[in-house]
Amino acid sequence: MNDPLVLDEFHLTLFVPADLDETQIRAARQILDHPAFRVRLARAVRRLLDRYEALRALSIEASR
């Protein structure tokens, strides 16, 4: 099989409120840094793609 070609890329930007407590920011960062988060994010996008027949053949990669 041939190597897949990039069809499109989406960039997700996450914002925190300017007044968010530093402890909460660290907690959020810890979750975002965990590899399991990216796995779950990719699964969620996969479920979305599966809702559209024309997109079911596409593969997904969540990276930073």
pLDDT one-digit tens code per residue, 21-51: 999 999 999 999 999 999 999 999 999 999 9
Is 26 a member of any domain?
yes
Provide, rounded to the nearest whole percent, the portion of the chain with pLDDT above 70: 98
Question: Residue 40's domain spans which residues?
Answer: 22-55
- For 41, the 3-state DSSP assignment is helix
| pLDDT, position 63 | 82
| pLDDT, position 64 | 81
Is 39 a member of any domain?
yes
Q: Which residues contact 56 (CB under 8 A, 6 or more apart)?
A: 49, 50
As for how many domains the chain has, the answer is 1
Report pTM. 0.79
Query: What is the average pLDDT across 9-26?
Result: 95
